[in-house]
Amino acid sequence: QYQEEIQELNEVARHRPRSTLVMGIQQENRQIRELQQENKELRTSLEEHQSALELIMTKYREQMFRLLMASKKDDPSIIMKLKEQHSKV
């Protein structure tokens, strides 16, 4: 049974020496760590961009609300509707 298992492992390893397999595994581990680091950096960058976009959209909504308020000063019902919409947002 031991010989069969050794034979199966050798077939899987394509009869490469152990040192070659270990070097391959080390290289894969390095690549995995680099990809994990890149993934972390990309996630941080995405969060920063989302935060900036939220800030921009909030400022845009406030500015549009003020503009609409200024243009509709004469109609109190529209002002009330705009205030309700703004408070919901």
Asked if 72 and 79 touch (Cβ cutoff 8 Å), the reply is: yes
DSSP H helical ranges for 1-89: 2-12, 18-71, 76-88
Per DSSP, 75 falls in state -
- C-alpha atoms less than 13 angstroms from C-alpha of 4 in its C-beta half-sphere: 1
pLDDT at residue 54, rounded to an integer: 96
Longest pairwise C-alpha distance within the chain: 94
Note the pLDDT tens digit of each residue in 57-82. Answer: 999 998 888 888 777 666 667 666 76
Whether pTM > 0.75 for this model: the answer is: no
φ, ψ at 36 (rounded to 5°)? -65, -40
pLDDT at residue 3, rounded to an integer: 85
The two structure tokens encoding residue 83 = 């205030």
Domain boundaries, the chain: 1-87
pLDDT at residue 52, rounded to an integer: 97
Asked if 82 and 68 touch (Cβ cutoff 8 Å), the reply is: yes
Note the pLDDT tens digit of each residue in 15-32. Answer: 667 777 788 889 999 999
